[in-house]
Amino acid sequence: MTYHTLSFPPALQAWVDARIAEGRYADVADYLRDLVRRDREYAAEDRRWLKAMIDEGLASGIVDAEPEDVIDAILAEDPDLRD
């Protein structure tokens, strides 16, 4: 097991201390382990979302038009996108 020493600015230390005082975490290490686990889950969800978007794009086929024309058509459908 690798051990790390961390230093927090006062505002972050106060936040961590408050979270521990709420009783959900036993100590700083417990809180940080939970943050790392949730970050890993979030990253996995990001990868799944990105893969789904790529798959959707690939399944949509190839457009035989210039990119500028496609963008102009999209903007014509929703002028609020120009902002």
DSSP result, 11-74? HHHHHHHHHHHTTS-SSHHHHHHHHHHHHHHHHHHHHHHHHHHHHHHHHT----S-HHHHHHHH
For residue 23, being part of any structural domain is answered with yes
What per-residue confidence (pLDDT) applies to 2? 84
**Residue at 57 is within a domain:** yes
Residue pair 76/68 in contact by the 8 Å Cβ criterion: no
Residue 3 lies in a domain: no
**Reported pTM:** 0.61
Query: Which phi and psi (to 5°) does residue 78 adopt?
Result: -140, 90
Residue 72 falls inside a structural domain: yes
What pLDDT is attached to residue 79?
80
Q: Is residue 49 part of a domain?
A: yes
User: Whole domain around residue 41: which residue ranges?
Assistant: 10-82
Give the CA radius of gyration of the chain.
Answer: 23
Please report, in tens digits, the pLDDT of each residue of the chain (83 residues total).
788 899 999 999 999 999 999 999 999 999 999 999 999 999 999 999 999 999 999 999 888 999 999 999 988 998 887 76
